[in-house]
Amino acid sequence: MNNKINQSMSRKLVFVFIYTSVITLVAHFITYVNINYTINKFDSVYTSNTNLMQLSESLKKVQEHMYQYLKLKNSSDLEAYYISIQEFQGMLRNLNEKPSDHTSLMMESHIRKMSTDYLSKTNEAVQAKRGRNIKKYNDCYNSANQIYGYINAYISRLNSAQFQYNSYNYLKLRSSLKYLELASTIILLSVIFFNGVMLVILSRRITHPLILLSNQANEIAKGNLEIDLMHVETGDEIEILAKAFNKMIGSIKDYIQRLRERMEIESQMKEKELLMENHLKDAQLKYLQAQINPHFLFNTLNAGVQLAMMEGAERTSEFIENMAEFFRYNIARINQETTLEEEVQLVDYYIYIINVRFSGEVSYMKEIDDKLLQTKVPSMILQPIVENVFQYGIRDIEWQGKIKLTIAEKEEKIWISVKDNGKGMSKERIKQVLSGETSKEEESRSSNGIGLHNVVNRLCLFYGIEEVLEISSEGMNKGTEVALKIPLNQSVEEGVEARV
């Protein structure tokens, strides 16, 4: 078992990845070292020529500053002369000072020796000038000027010799760089080829058993269960998958056999079930016939309205008319979409009915943004909330009950708030309502059978969101506010897609 675990597919993939990565990194490292070495060689090819040109420029500064001082005897020129001498002497230290048979080294030795003589003569000329010895500083200046010419001639000859030698080295480096590029390309192509071979071998070891599994799965999908079982010995997860596949085929065969036996038993019971179903349909038909026809109810209420008007009972007529509209909306709009305007109108009917029923106990106020009234919503979402507010919040209180309905835009959502000044709610009660623990209680006590929990569930399904309800209360006997939050610009089609 441990041997198979060690040969798992993940370990094989990790091994191939590490192996190919190491080879690639080694090839890149070798190429990087060689390229950097060549580039450094390129940088140093003409360094000697640059140094000789800088030496010539420094010598020229010494000559110019000495001449200016001898001509004008200015302290600034004297200072510049000594600074240029220090710079020139610093460059001379890089030249060879020992005798040598090599032409370039011998020339460097001569330049260094002549430069020492030259600096000695320039110092004598400067000292003679400071001592007002005109003849001596003239002689020293002429000698220094003559040595200056010799030094420049030697520097020029040495620079030419060095340039020829450096040019030869430059051509050799360019040639070696071309060979290096070719070698790097060959190495890179070899690594790519080797990695490709490794990946092809590994992929075939992985995909070949999977192809066999796929072919057998297609045969099973066609309904052919009489296939030969696979025998895979790869020592990895594919072997486990093949064994599980073979076991699944056996399980399917057993299940089909048991299913056939069960279908035979069920077919024997089918006639009895059909007979019982016919009896049930007869019972349902009788139940439907016993229900009140909604059209009959509407026609009856309308007849009551007309009779009240004929008798001059305007308040009774208005009450019956509101009752008819209320029941018409309840039955006609149930499980359908509507607008906020129609929902508000239904709340108006309900408030009127309970004020007639309870002798005007409720003071009803509205604060509504008219541009939101055409928003599509599920039916029966406001009236159940207002009914719960009346039933649980302000019914049986000893002071004037007030209900305020507010519909406004807030935080890119439509906020529908129903606020009362009634009994209030504790934090524990609010938590129970929000968690749905009071849904059964609502079903038993709500007069129209649609509780707050039902409203929240339908809004969540309609808009495809989870948080639509907020409840807040400052405490007992301080009123409660129930707020619904629905999307502002979501169309009916988007709500349907969200519910799907």
pLDDT value of position 416? 93
Average pLDDT over residues 284-290: 38
The average pLDDT across 40-49 equals: 66
Residue 4 pLDDT greater than 50, yes or no: no
Tokens of 364: 């009803």
Give yes or no: residues 182 and 239 share one domain.
no
- 304-320 tens-digit pLDDT: 555 566 666 666 666 66
- Does residue 355 sit within a domain? no
Average pLDDT over residues 93-109: 78
pTM of the model: 0.40
Axis-axis angle for helices 47-72, 9-45 (nearest 10)? 40
Helix (H, G, I), strand (E, B) or coil at 405: strand
pLDDT, tens digit (0-9, with 9 covering 90-100), for 231-247: 666 666 677 777 777 77
User: Could you read off the pLDDT of 324-336 as tens digits, one per residue?
Assistant: 666 655 555 555 6
Q: What is the pLDDT of residues 449-477, one digit of tens each?
A: 457 777 888 788 778 787 888 898 888 88
Residue 302 lies inside a defined structural domain of this protein:
no
Confirm whether 115 is domain-assigned. yes
Q: Based on the domain organization, do 23 and 168 belong to the same domain?
A: yes
Q: Is 323 part of any domain?
A: no
**Quick one: 26 and 92 in the same domain?**
yes
On whether both 15 and 75 belong to a single domain, the answer is yes
- Per DSSP, the chain holds a count of helices (H) and strands (E) of 15, 7
Q: Which residues contact 61 (CB under 8 A, 6 or more apart)?
A: 80, 84, 87, 88
Is the predicted pLDDT of residue 108 greater than 50, yes or no?
yes
Residue 492 banded pLDDT, cuts 50, 70, 90: very low
- On whether both 46 and 186 belong to a single domain, the answer is yes
Distance CA 491, CA 498 (A): 11
* Total domains in the fold of the chain: 3
**Do 176 and 33 have their domain in common?**
yes
Nearest CA to 212 among 248, 238, 179?
Answer: 238
Same domain, 405 and 460: yes
Q: Which percentage of the chain shows pLDDT scores above 90?
A: 5
Q: Is 2 among the domain residues?
A: no
Under 8 Å between Cβ of 298 and 329: no
Model confidence band, residue 482 (pLDDT cutoffs 50, 70, 90): very high
- Cβ atoms of 220 and 41 closer than 8 Å: no
Could you tell me how far CA 255 lies from the centroid of its own chain?
46
457 shares a domain with 387: yes
Range with lowest mean pLDDT among 98-107, 257-266, 463-472 = 98-107
**Residue 222 domain-assigned?**
no
435 or 498, which is more confident? 435
Residue 253 and residue 165 share a domain: no
372-396 tens-digit pLDDT? 999 888 888 888 888 888 888 888 8
SS3 126: helix
What is the mean predicted confidence (pLDDT) over 189-205?
78
In the predicted model, what is the mean pLDDT of residues 14-29? 77
Comparing 269-273, 289-293, 350-354, 401-405, the range with the smallest average pLDDT is 289-293
pLDDT of residue 202: 73
Q: Are residues 36 and 105 in the same domain?
A: yes
Confidence band for 107, pLDDT divided at 50, 70 and 90: confident
Domain check: are 377 and 469 in the same one? yes
Q: What is the predicted pLDDT for the residue at 284?
A: 39
Q: Kindly indicate the confidence band of residue 182, based on its pLDDT and cuts at 50, 70 and 90.
A: confident
pLDDT band at 408 (very low <50, low <70, confident <90, very high): very high
Domain that holds residue 241: 230-291
Per-residue pLDDT for 5 more than 50? no
